[in-house]
Amino acid sequence: MEDFSLLEEVIDSLEQDNNVLRIKRLILFTCHDSWENDVNVVKALHMRQLVRELMIRFPDLNNLKHKLNSQVKQLSKQSDYLLAADNIIDSLGFIYTLRDEGKLPISFLNPEPASVSQNGSPAIGNKSSERNDSDTIPHIHNLKYLTNLFDLRADISRNVSPLHAKILLFSSLNYRFSPQERDWSALYTYDLDDLIQMIFQAHETVESLDTRLSEVSLTLDQPEDAKRAAAVILQALRPFY
């Protein structure tokens, strides 16, 4: 007998979790090996579709556990995302049990054809939403994504102060950051990983990136340090263009 109520309770518990944004980001990262920084995009994702896609891609719970742990090891805030991974496994364990006992609604893992993308993989989003696939998961269709931010960040941090790199990237993406004039909390809302990904997405060519970093570095309080950071960042990202 299908158990709709328990399925909905599990999905709702994930949606109401205090860690919901990290849970959604981690599921997306696990399914697509791509990282989404835009909070509005993450908030718009439907937990039901995320859970469905995760179960379709990882029909075995143990394989899912290994994949989640592997993905978390690539992230800078591992303790936070380990908690998110634990929440995912604890919650989905109930749904896998429902499936194995034949109590999971058939429609859950076999959605309507309209909710499947052209390439045959489950779409994130639903038919009634005004957002289409390219709006909801832009990295699949129209954005470039870096796949190994851990190594990139390590490479940049070995050759230049991570703080100088963050200030340059933040200033290139937002506004000129000055330690004397600005609240540091704005800078600390971003990880270096986030800023690397965002600057990569913001520039279609390495020439455009070079121009932007060079221009901004000249405006900062420590231009020589900023110029060195620009050169290191450019060298690290060049192979991905």
pLDDT tens digits, 124-170: 333 333 333 333 333 333 345 565 677 788 888 888 888 899 899 99
H or E element that contains 48: helix 47-57
C-alpha pair distances (Å), 37 with each of 41, 43, 132, 191: 8, 11, 19, 10
* Tens digit of each residue's pLDDT (9 = 90 or more) over 73-90: 998 888 889 999 999 998
pLDDT, position 216: 95
| 216 and 195 inside one domain | yes
Final residue of a domain: which of 98, 115, 140? 140
pLDDT, position 228: 95
**Rounded-to-integer distance, Cα 143 and Cα 204, Å:** 10
Residue 30 reports pLDDT greater than 80: yes
Average pLDDT on 5-13 reads 84
Residue type, 227: K
**How many domains does the structure of the chain reveal?**
2
Return the minimum-mean-pLDDT range out of 39-48, 207-216, 225-234: 39-48
Rounded to 5°, angle at Cα 13 from 89 and 190? 75
Residue 23 reports pLDDT greater than 80: yes
| Pair of tokens at residue 200 | 């990569």
Share the mean pLDDT of the chain.
79
| 44 and 113 inside one domain | yes
Final residue of a domain: which of 108, 140, 172? 140
Which band of pLDDT confidence, cut at 50, 70 and 90, is reported for residue 183? low
Residue 224 reports pLDDT greater than 90: yes
pLDDT, position 157: 85
Residue 91 is part of which domain span? 4-140
Residue 21 reports pLDDT greater than 80: yes
| 200 and 156 inside one domain | yes
Residue 218 reports pLDDT greater than 90: yes
Residue 186 reports pLDDT greater than 80: no
- Residue 36's CB is within 10 A of a number of other CB atoms, namely 21
**pTM exceeds 0.85 for this model:** no
| 102 and 53 inside one domain | yes
- Nearest by Cα to 233 from 144, 155, 179: 155
Helix axes 162-173, 223-237, angle to 10 degrees: 80
pLDDT, position 208: 93
| 224 and 156 inside one domain | yes
| 12 and 126 inside one domain | yes
CB 136 within 8 A of CB 45: yes
